[in-house]
Structure 1
Amino acid sequence: MGLLSGDRAVKTALVVLLALLCISKSWAAGDEAQEASAARSLLEKAVARYRQEGDKAFAQFSRQGEFVDGERYVFVTDTHGVMLASGGPSVALIGRDVSSVLDPELQKNLQSALQTPESAGIQQAEYRWQNWADGKVERKRVYFQRVGNRLLAVGYYLPRASPAQAKALLDKAATELSADEKGTVDAINSLKGGFLQDDLYVFVVNTDSQRYVAHGTNLRLVGTDFSKVKDPEGKPVGVPMLAMVKKQSDGEYEYRWRNPVTNKIELKHAYMRKVGHFMVAVGYYSG
């Protein structure tokens, strides 16, 4: 994203700030709803304390206690991008202008986010970053609110895509492919159109030619022979998936593959469906 590398704490704070550039409108249910509620509540508590005590509250935000709740913690920047308080790893950045190491375009976008009017109330954003608790790159949502010339925020890590989400994306792709082959293939290959959702993506193989016709993250695979695909350990992937979908309209297959979000080789559980002379597949990663 154009970041100039530094130590881990610098990167942590930078991505926290960059999170403010990408406002998210998505919501999930279950555990995520509980996480969202807890993060928002912690932010509201921090905002109330800051309104009472002003900058004196920074000491409370920057130590273990009532403003650190597991992986959730409060951090504060001013409207120039200087870290003022943090109950997490970015505590090492306190007093530093972390925005100064961004490229000009990102600085411009960051300043726009940092200048969110106080009247806007609580806002939310998403980004991807390494979870210091488990070392994995994961999605994180942050809630933030401006109070005067301070930005207070609390974030939490989002769960990986679920089997239900993978099945829903497969249903969407299969339905749209049945209605409009070319339009759907083009939409998948555009890496947009709703067929790329965090670590979920769609790929389509022509069962006659056995070649990829669409891939949601790697366009270099389009036109290549799917039957020759193997996992990093040499286990066949293409041949058994094609054989399965030719015998039945739906199937499932597990293999190891690179997660486009974490960039690590992980266990992937793929759902596939035959649509005319195509095999459509979507898989979720279980780590």
Structure 2
Amino acid sequence: MRRVVNALGAIGGIFAIITMLSALWPDTSTPNSTPGNASVPASTLVTGFARDYVTTYLTAKAGDEEKLARYVTVKDLKLPPVAGEFTDTDVAFAKQVTTTDDGVAVWTVTISGLINGATAATPQRTYYRVPITVLDGAPRATALPMQVAGPGIGVDFRLGYRDTVSLDSPLGIAAVGFVRSYLTGGADFSRYVTSDSSDKPIQPAPYAKVDTLTIQANVGDDGKTAATAEVYITVAARTRNYTLTQLAYPLTLRSVEGQWQVVSIAAVPLLQTRPEDPRQGSATTTTSTTPPPPPTRN
């Protein structure tokens, strides 16, 4: 009998330990009650800290050493006698370089801005790179900001729309009607979109009148033999006080029972790109086998 009691006691002890461990160990099958937290990048903390740090440093003067103490530890720091201005700041670049074995996240962040922009004859945007570490959610700069060169000028790629679309063609009419209704709040918007389109006209309508300038597509012959088409339309939109703005929209269209309708506004227009180095080799395109002309620099 005593053995039975001892066995039951041992089993009860093991069960208690398992229960305690299961309570401490997170249940991965339980849905996250705060899924929005996953959409907030860790870089938000780091870039905000870097912006404040660079701004504080470049606007500090002799006697402001304590202001910088919350960002960085530097011995024998020499500050100018007169404070400067650092305005129109922006985050030009941010990257986590590594995470050390003891859990320290190492970042590099580049902040840009205008130094004394209000008084300079020709304000120049300057760039400052700062190394930052994050431990237990607390960021800290490891050194003073270093001024660096700004990014180079990028390469221009031509758009991938090779054919001109007539404004009075069914394809052109659909594109024109969609953009006009989209920008002017037209009540006929639904006639220009497919049933599965998620686009809605802008409200309140920002423009009173829209004139079409050009329409181009990745299909020829105004899309007469095509079932789908990628279209690029440029317009001149006018507000009620006659302010003109030129806009361009890449559209994806589909022929539905012989009528062209817009599926969506494309996130990016079609581009004539090269697979590797855009400056070398034969050109290719995402929409045609005909090599496009080489990209040019502005």
User: Shared fold by TM > 0.5?
Assistant: no
If each structure's helix is expressed as a fraction of its own residues, which one has the higher value? 1
- Normalization by structure 2: what TM-score? 0.25
Query: Per chain length, whose mean CA-contact separation is higher, i.e. which structure has more relative contact order (CA < 8 Å, sep 6+)?
Result: 1
- Normalization by structure 1: what TM-score? 0.26
